Amino acid sequence: MAMGWWKPYFFLDPTGVQLLLPNLVIDGKAETLVVSAFAIALIAFLDRYMAHVSRKDSGISVYLSVLCFTTQKFTSGLLMLIMMSFNTLLFLEVVLFSGTAELWMRLRAQTREGSAHFHSVAMSEIEMDGC
C-alpha cells in the first residue's frame, strides 16, 4: 500500500512534502524551504500573539477576546498538522519558531508592564481560597 510522501516516522528529506494544502508542496529547493519556513514562522508568531491577547486582562471586549481565542485555536491546529507531517525539519521549525515567538511576547510584556506581568497567571489557572 503506497502512502505517497507521508511516512509514519520522522524523516529528513523535505522533497515532496505537502504543506497543509494539495498545491503547497516542498520540492527540496532552497526557495521553497525558505518560503515554507517564513510561512511557519508567521503562523507560529500569530498563534503566540493571539494566545497572549486572548489571555490579557487589559479591558478588551469579550467579543475581541473570543475572536483572538478562536484564531489561536485555528493557528495551533495548523501548526499541529504541520508537525504531523513527521518531517524533522518542519517539526523543528514549528518548535523553534513557537518558542521564539513566546520568548518575544514575554519579553515585550515584561518591558511594557514591568516584571509583575511576566510571572502573572490567569485566574482560571490558580485555586482561589476565598481570601
**12 within a domain of the structure (yes/no):** no
User: In whole numbers, what is the pLDDT of the chain averaged over residues?
Assistant: 82
**34 within a domain of the structure (yes/no):** yes
**58 within a domain of the structure (yes/no):** yes
| C-alpha cell at position 66 | 473570543
| 3-state per-residue secondary structure call for 15-79 | CCEECCCCCCEECCCHHHHHHHHHHHHHHHHHHHHHHHHHHCCCCCCHHHHHHHHHHHHHHHHHH
The answer to whether the beta carbons of residues 103 and 95 sit under 8 Å apart is no
What is the tens place of the pLDDT at every residue in 74-86? 999 999 999 998 9
Task: Give the list of residues 6+ apart from residue 49 with CB closer than 8 angstroms, or none.
Answer: 101, 105
Per the structure, the complete domain to which residue 36 belongs is given by: 28-117
**92 within a domain of the structure (yes/no):** yes
Decide: helix, strand or coil at residue 11: strand
Residue 125 pLDDT level (bands cut at 50, 70, 90) = very low
Domain tally, the chain: 1
**128 within a domain of the structure (yes/no):** no
Q: How far apart are CA 82 and CA 90, in angstroms?
A: 7
**11 within a domain of the structure (yes/no):** no
What is the tens place of the pLDDT at every residue in 82-123? 999 899 999 999 999 999 999 999 998 888 876 554 444 444
| C-alpha cell at position 70 | 478562536
**6 within a domain of the structure (yes/no):** no
**111 within a domain of the structure (yes/no):** yes
pTM of the model: 0.77
Residue located via cell numbers 513527521: 86
Q: Residue 131: what pLDDT?
A: 44
Region 7-25 average pLDDT: 83
